[in-house]
Amino acid sequence: MKNHFSQYQNPLRILKLISGRQWLTFSASWLAWTADAFDFFCVSLNVDNIAKEFHKSHSDVTLAILFTLLTRSIGAVIFGALGDRYGRKWPMVGNILLFGILTFSTGFTRNFSEFLAVRSLYGIALGGIYGCAASLAIENLPNEARGIMSGVLQQGYAFGYLLAAAINLAIVPNSKYGWRAIFWFGIGPAVLIAIFRAVIPDEDAAKRRALSSRDSSTTMTAKDKGRVLLKEIKELFRYHWLRLIHAVALMSGFNFMSHGSQDLYPTFLTSQLENTPTTSTKVVSIMNFGAIIGGSLAGYFSQYWGRRITIISLCCVGACFIPLWYLPTDWRILAIGAFFMQFCVQGAWGIIPIHLNEISPSSTLRAVFVGLTYQLGNAISSASATIEATAAEKLKTKSPSGKIVPDYGKTQAIFIGAVFLCVIILTAVSPEYKGAMLEEVKYADGRVVVQVKPDVDKPETVEENNHYEG
């Protein structure tokens, strides 16, 4: 037994390998991702309030979620490409400020059409964050720390949801402006995070300059750099289309999994089970604590068990908790099921930042690959909440008071069960480069190789451990 556990490193010892500058860079990415989630879930937490003000159904309001997710792919390409070519820092700063402004603008929409239009534009700004944030955060860390910090980074999303739930409860019921107040509040954190990202040392600059030098001298004009960028994007689709398609399919499954288990859960708690906003916030908060813990632990253990086996195991365990997640009427028991459901869902998600970075075919297009596959997956899964809301409105049930209401619980349970199965299959056939160094070596013959650290549990040849680019 002693020898079995000797392979595991003390997490605190791993964290000590991270320098102060690396912590600052990682923190900026984590905060940006947290603000991303905070602003996104402002709609999910106020579906009922928005529906009442605009005289729409819940399924109508979920169209805002759908449009936001659909347009995120545009932002992923734009800001991911800018980050890969010119460095992650300033595209991130502009991106954060832009989605803060559009969040603020949401609170001023006068009708439902304006609301949908602003949320669609917001999706473009929102879509650029993940690629730059995940790439910058992971690639600048020591290799030994990338697994555990992948989980920590991803759970900025759960922490953002947690903050949104708590602040929504504090602001919305006590404001004469109702749901609009939470959107006005959202610009404050965005501005502060953008300033923080702008003033901290640019850990990414040296690497970007080194990579750009492989294309030409430093005298390249902006127009020339643009041509090179377009050429590299074309090569990504031409030579790595199969990996791109698989990564998009995998991200579709993951996004169906998270949005299917989160977006309408507050509506399920309040509209179907008739809980008070305070009780609903308690359950959502406990649920997100489970997400934060699960994501952090899963990222750490995936460093030893492998990315795929950890994801598959968590999906299997999560499926077992579906009954406890939606059947109880006592909120305390329901909270236990929600805790473990999100422990598994976000635990699996905690592995995604490092997994996407490792299977990316090129470090010069890493932000584009990570951001684009993630956001295309978001686009494909964008109808999650609308599908669930529409199905629930047709599948009626009785509320505790005897009213006939949409059955959000059963609909979400069926939906998430099917999604778990799809994610297990897609993960099983996914490539895995656990331990990839994420640095390139260029040889005299023009080959560019991403060095991959050999897996101690599976010795391979040098050729099998290298991931060839050109």
Kindly indicate whether the domain formed by 17-212+222-434 is annotated with CATH number 3.40.50.720: no
* Neighbour-count burial for 70-88, b at 16+ CB within 10 Å, e otherwise: bbbbbbbbbbbbbbbbbbb
Predicted local confidence at residue 252, as pLDDT: 94
Q: For 180-212, write each residue's pLDDT tens digit.
A: 999 999 999 999 999 998 888 765 544 554 455
Per-residue pLDDT, averaged over 160-175, amounts to 90
Half-sphere exposure of 54 (CA within 13 A, CB side): 24
Per-residue pLDDT, averaged over 131-136, amounts to 77
Q: How far is CA 72 from CA 12, 42, 69, 373, in A?
A: 36, 17, 5, 11
Q: Where are the alpha helices (DSSP H) in 221-365?
A: 222-239, 241-262, 265-267, 277-305, 307-320, 322-326, 331-349, 352-359
Question: Range(s) for CATH 1.20.1250.20 in the chain?
Answer: 17-212+222-434
Predicted local confidence at residue 5, as pLDDT: 42
pTM, whole model, 2 decimals?
A: 0.72
Q: For 395-424, write each residue's pLDDT tens digit.
A: 899 989 889 999 999 999 999 999 999 999
Whether pLDDT at 99 is above 80: yes
Find the distance separating the first CA and the last CA of the chain, reported in whole Å: 45
Q: How many CB atoms lie within 10 A of CB 441?
A: 11
